[in-house]
Amino acid sequence: MSETLRENALLRDTHDPLAKLRGKFVLDEETVYLDGNSLGALPAHVPDRMADVITREWGRLRIRSWDESGWWTAPERIGDRIAPLVGAAPGRIVVSDSTSVNVFKAVVAATRLSTDDRDEILVDATTFPTDGYIAESAARMTGRRIVPVAPADLADAAGPRTAAALVNHVDFRTGRLHDLPGTTAALHAAGALAIWDLCHSAGALPVGLDEHGVDLAVGCTYKYLNGGPGSPAYLYVAERHQAAFDSPLPGWNSHADPFGMTPGYAAAEGAARGRVGTPDILSMLALESALDVWDGVAVEDVRAKSLALTDFFEECVAAYVPAGRVASLTPRAHSERGSQVALRCAEAPAVMAELIRRGVVGDLRRPDVLRFGFTPLYVGFADAERAARILAEVLAEIPAEAPAPQASEVRREAAPDLDS
């Protein structure tokens, strides 16, 4: 069986139209890197670009680079490069600050776009914790209350008191893909706004922000977009909301006349309203350079490979790993899957530590989830087969502490209670 799967993997890699992109990243053959959903690999050309930014633009041009090197326009320019990857037209995305800061801007702005009698903010009950923390703080500040709701129940939960809903497009623990078009339409039917967190979907699958009428969206750039550790996040504001978008963090960078230094605030036009203070230029320009790897790449092709990779990895796990040692948290249906596979394993901490020691780098979500992210730009089918084979070897050496639960039990237990 192992030889057949290995031969299958090599054949698939040979015919993979995206395989040539692997050479554009700094990788080593000794490591299977399956943690791009936490930190993307380094595009090989970025160090030379950053050397030029540091030595010439900062070192020699210094302050002149704000104009001559285009530093000032970087947040909107880079936003326009991200736009096609998430299905947005130019002028609707600004790159600025962190995801957390942008979540705060989006949630508060959404309540300001709503009416006072809409006093509820629905929050994805399985959300990444920071989104929940930020939403709760925004609710206290705006006199609203948080209502945690399972993503599948949002359509039924939205009503005349709902101002907005904050939802993760892909669940960070399980890799479950939530229904962005359907949920957005249901929220609009209830008179509410849709705010989507795209951290685990942008760069892995088509999003369709404009097509599906999303109101506001945020996302990071250091995962599937490979922008580097702590690279700046982005904020999407639908064109129909831009004139009324009222940021809770007005700064000199988002002023209509930023160098006028007037005491009164007047907001800039368009997505630039999402800017706040001076941009982090070094990280910003590293991200811009990293986005070069997307030139000529269709997100639809990336999605097709992502689904094929995750299918193949699950096939290899089923073939190699003894029954009962792991249970998949990730939906099998393509319409419900992001670009990762999460496996519930009672011995997960010890297993992941040993996997990393043997060159298979995934990550751990305590207490018992092994998480493997598949970045189609540089992960191949041989990587997936090797990772599953080594996982089986590690599990054969680490005694089972307790039987793994059934998948149905796993999925039922995956949602935290934000009220606790």
Residue 165: strand pairing partners: 122, 194
Q: What is the mean pLDDT of residues 231-248?
A: 98
Residue 219 burial by Cβ neighbours in a 10 Å radius (0-12, 13-18, 19+):
buried
- C-alpha pair distances (Å), 341 with each of 119, 142, 231, 332, 396: 37, 38, 25, 10, 20
Residue 370: strand pairing partners: 343, 364
Residues in the chain: 420
pLDDT (0 to 100) of residue 420: 29
Residue type, 361: V
CA distance 354 to 352: 5
Confidence of residue 214 (pLDDT cuts 50, 70, 90): very high
CA distance 346 to 218: 34
CA distance 374 to 385: 12
The pTM is what? 0.94
Closest CA to 114 of 158, 153, 168, 180: 158
- C-alpha pair distances (Å), 366 with each of 63, 103, 134, 347, 393: 46, 25, 22, 10, 22
Closest CA to 253 of 67, 127, 72, 394: 72
For the chain, percent helix, then strand, then coil, each to nearest 5? 45, 15, 40
Closest CA to 233 of 86, 133, 379, 129: 86
Residue 19 burial by Cβ neighbours in a 10 Å radius (0-12, 13-18, 19+):
middle
CATH code for the domain defined by 2-43+301-413: 3.90.1150.10
pLDDT single digits (tens) 266-310: 999 999 999 999 999 999 999 999 999 999 999 999 999 999 999
pLDDT (0 to 100) of residue 3: 86
Q: What is the mean pLDDT of residues 395-411?
A: 62
pLDDT (0 to 100) of residue 51: 98
- Segments making up each domain of the chain, as ranges: 2-43+301-413, 48-294
Q: Is 403 a residue whose pLDDT tops 80?
A: no
Q: What is the mean pLDDT of residues 193-219?
A: 98
Residues designated catalytic = 128, 197, 222-223, 371
pLDDT (0 to 100) of residue 17: 97
Q: Does residue 399 have a cis peptide bond before it, meaning omega lies within 30 degrees of 0? A: no
CA distance 327 to 312: 16
Q: Which fold has domain 48-294?
A: Aspartate Aminotransferase; domain 2 (3.40.640)
Residue 331 burial by Cβ neighbours in a 10 Å radius (0-12, 13-18, 19+):
middle
